[in-house]
Amino acid sequence: MDTDNSLTTRFFTKVEKAPSGCWEWIASKTADGYGQFRYPTSTSTTKRAHRASYDYFYGGIPEGKQVNHHCDNPGCVNPAHLYAGTQQENVDDLMARGRHRGTTPRATCNKGHERSTENTLVNEKTGMRSCRVCRVDYKNKNNEKIRAQDRKRYHAKKTATKQGDNNE
């Protein structure tokens, strides 16, 4: 990250220090929880916030390395929790901490619903698990969209019929 004071100030207004020691990124995040920081340049490049933090505090990311977390928190930008490592080191860390696919199922789904036996659906063909509450919500939203489309078509057809009657 550039040492420009306005850029540094902008970066740190998007950080909240947590009791855990993590510096939590509170601005824009990717779907997988990594912070995003936009550099105000002619191309307006966006960089992951933990990479920008490492770059700022350690003077750049060594070639052939990536920035990994000791704390296992993708939203953390605390330089003390970051290290330059290889992809293999990151995978080894993932395996050691049990974050890879096929490990013990999480206690909740992505939206926070409990993963109890009653609330978990299992696809017999693939073995994939899904949350019953989320599945019902998804189907209800989809059904509402379909009903809205049907109403729109019905009214369009009815209007067209009325206009046809008036033209005779």
Distance CA 143, CA 149 (A): 10
Reported confidence tier of residue 111, pLDDT bands at 50, 70, 90? confident
Q: How far apart are CA 45 and CA 23, in angstroms?
A: 22
CATH of the domain at 7: 3.90.75.20
pTM for the model: 0.57
**Lowest mean pLDDT across 70-84, 101-115, 136-150:** 101-115
Q: How many folded domains does the chain comprise?
A: 2
**Together in a domain, 6 and 83:** yes
Q: In terms of residue numbers, what domain contains 143?
A: 105-168
Distances (CA, A) of 38 to 2, 8, 60, 106: 12, 12, 17, 33
Residue with the two structure tokens 């369009």: 156
Instruction: Report yes or no: 115 and 132 within 8 Å, Cβ to Cβ.
Output: no
The C-alpha atoms of residue 145 and residue 6 are separated, in whole angstroms, by 46
Q: Are residues 48 and 112 in the same domain?
A: no
Same domain (yes/no): 41, 92? yes
Q: What pLDDT does 2 receive? A: 47
* CB contact set of 128 (below 8 Å; sequence gap of 6+): 122
Q: What is the C-alpha to C-alpha distance for residues 154 and 139, in angstroms, rounded to an integer?
A: 22
- Whether residue 155 sits in one domain with residue 112: yes
Do 137 and 93 lie in a common domain? no
Under a CB-based contact definition with an 8 Å cutoff, are residues 59 and 71 in contact? no
pLDDT at 76 over 90: yes
Task: Yes or no: say if 20 and 32 are a contact pair by the CB < 8 Å rule.
Answer: no
Q: What percent of the chain has pLDDT over 90?
A: 30
168 pLDDT exceeds 60? no
| C-alpha gyration radius of the chain | 25
Q: Based on the domain organization, do 78 and 109 belong to the same domain?
A: no
Query: Are residues 82 and 139 located together in one domain of the fold?
Result: no
Antiparallel, parallel or unpaired: β 46-48 and 36-38: antiparallel
Q: Are residues 56 and 126 in the same domain?
A: no
